Amino acid sequence: MIGRLNHVGVATPSIDDSIKLYRDILGATRIHEPFNLPEQGVRVCFVDVANSQIELIEPLGDDSPIHGFLKKNPAGGQHHVCFEVDDIIAARDEMRAKGATILGTGEPRIGAHGTPIIFVHPRDMGGVLIELMETPEDMHA
Amino acid sequence: MIGRLNHVGVATPSIDDSIKLYRDILGATRIHEPFNLPEQGVRVCFVDVANSQIELIEPLGDDSPIHGFLKKNPAGGQHHVCFEVDDIIAARDEMRAKGATILGTGEPRIGAHGTPIIFVHPRDMGGVLIELMETPEDMHA
């Protein structure tokens, strides 16, 4: 079912500082403009690597789900892994049928790449928060 | 400097259980044979996705560096992110010149893909443990 590893989500207290790290220390050459996703309580910035992306995630607003993560990991850290799927509803229903718990209502939301996403509870995924994202049309190989 | 995202390292108390998760729940179709890396105190198993890999990592022996991680995260979780580089010595020297701390002696060891690797201290990498790995010859695009 899972397709490409679309991105690794990395929480950070400061996207600006993380951009310096990925650009100046690790030498990433393509870093997109950061933007806000207010309905998800996050500000995000994609860093391209040759075959995938790092998604830098900063809390946005008092209710951001990232505050709790940063309380436990003040310097930031790996937050989630996102795999592409062809059909988000089919993927959700298949995951549920196999006993996995979808976070929230289970209704897909529109993610940072403009396509529907869901998150699967880490307790069913070996402690890893997994995002499933419908493959963006313009990212088809 | 950094090239492909070679893999995401995922620590697990049981590679066998994690294989079931990635194969039966997430639908990964190409899962390699697990093998031991005794000099690193780990047993590993690579799960292929379309553009990258998940490296499942189980502790091997009493001195395994994975025991500490699993004590904090008993169910397992994201352990490191591995980027490919062209030349591990040049990458190490460049990281050091920019102030990053290389774990251990700093002398590269041979990693799970048979090429030299180093790990960069997460305190310099926004809380993320980063592995740099010389690109395997047979994985060049």
Kindly indicate whether the ipTM for this predicted assembly is greater than 0.85, answering yes or no: yes
Of A26, A75, A94, Cβ closest to residue B123:
A75
β-pairing, B35-37 vs A130-134, is unpaired
pLDDT tier at A141 (50, 70, 90 boundaries)? very low
Write down the CATH superfamily of domain A5-139. Answer: 2,3-Dihydroxybiphenyl 1,2-Dioxygenase, domain 1 (3.10.180.10)
Mean pLDDT, 10 residues at a time, chain B of 141 residues = 97 98 96 95 97 98 96 97 98 97 95 95 97 83 41
Of B21, B27, B83, Cβ closest to residue A49:
B83
Q: Tell me the chain A residues in contact with residue B83 when contact means C-beta distances shorter than 8 Å.
A: 26, 49
Could you tell me the residue ranges of all domains in chain B? 5-139
| Average pLDDT value for residue range A61-81 | 97
Burial of A119 (0-12, 13-18, 19+ CB in 10 A): buried
Rounded Cα distance, B123 and B100, in Å: 9
- Determine, for residues B77 and A124 on separate chains, whether the beta-carbon distance falls below 8 Å: no
Rounded Cα distance, A119 and A133, in Å: 9
- Determine, for residues A126 and B26 on separate chains, whether the beta-carbon distance falls below 8 Å: no
Active site residue A134: no
Q: Nearest-CA neighbor of A116 among A69, A84, A76?
A: A84
- Determine, for residues B27 and A126 on separate chains, whether the beta-carbon distance falls below 8 Å: no
